[in-house]
């Protein structure tokens, strides 16, 4: 499994399937978190995922890989009541996700955008 396949599998399991066992399968025990609102480790995420609303959904977009770094562009629908577009950046070591950064902003629809472009998906739309 390539690093990008690993990340896409892990993120899909966590956010689409709400499978908290994915943290034990795909994430390191020493998971480092760079989002300033979250502590290191997966314990808080294991508690958070089951609390997501029934209307929450996740859609992966572009995935890019450079060595042991994988970036995935995604759309989080009904993330605490808002639709968010994010780029999640992961570092992989020994077949596990060991580190995470993210950049997330509220989605602006194309009709409300200064340039008329949608934020997601990017390709061909």
2 φ, ψ to 5°?
Answer: -75, 165
pTM over 0.85, yes/no: yes
Q: Where are the domains of the chain?
A: 3-112
**pLDDT tens column, 46-69:** 999 999 999 999 999 999 999 999
| pLDDT by 10-residue block (mean), the chain, 125 residues | 96 94 97 95 95 93 96 94 96 98 94 91 56
Task: Please provide the CATH number assigned to the domain covering 3-112.
Answer: 3.10.450.50
């Amino acid at each position: 499994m390539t690093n990008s396949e690993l990340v896409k599998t892990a993120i899909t399991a966590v956010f689409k399937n709400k499978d908290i066992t994915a943290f034990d399968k795909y994430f390191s025990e020493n998971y480092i978190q760079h989002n300033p609102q979250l502590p290191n480790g997966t314990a808080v995420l294991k508690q958070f995922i089951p609390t997501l609303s029934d209307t929450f959904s996740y859609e992966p977009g572009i995935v890019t890989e450079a060595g042991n770094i994988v970036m995935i562009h995604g759309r989080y629908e009904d993330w605490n009541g808002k639709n968010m577009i994010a780029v999640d950046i992961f570092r992989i070591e020994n077949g596990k996700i060991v580190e995470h950064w993210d950049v997330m902003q509220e989605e602006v629809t194309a009709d409300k955008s200064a340039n008329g472009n949608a934020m997601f998906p990017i390709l061909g739309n």
